[in-house]
Amino acid sequence: MTKKEKALLACEALEKIYPDVECSLNFTKPYELMIATRLSAQCTDARVNIVCRDLFLKYPDVYAMAKAENKDVEALVFSCGVYKVKAANIIDFS
How confident is the model over 37-77, as pLDDT tens digits?
999 988 999 999 999 999 999 999 989 988 988 899 999 99
3-state secondary structure the chain: CCHHHHHHHHHHHHHHHCCCCCCCCCCCCHHHHHHHHHHCCCCCHHHHHHHHHHHHHHCCCHHHHHCCCHHHHHHHHHHHCCHHHHHHHHHHHC
Put simply, whether the predicted model's pTM sits higher than 0.95 gets the answer no
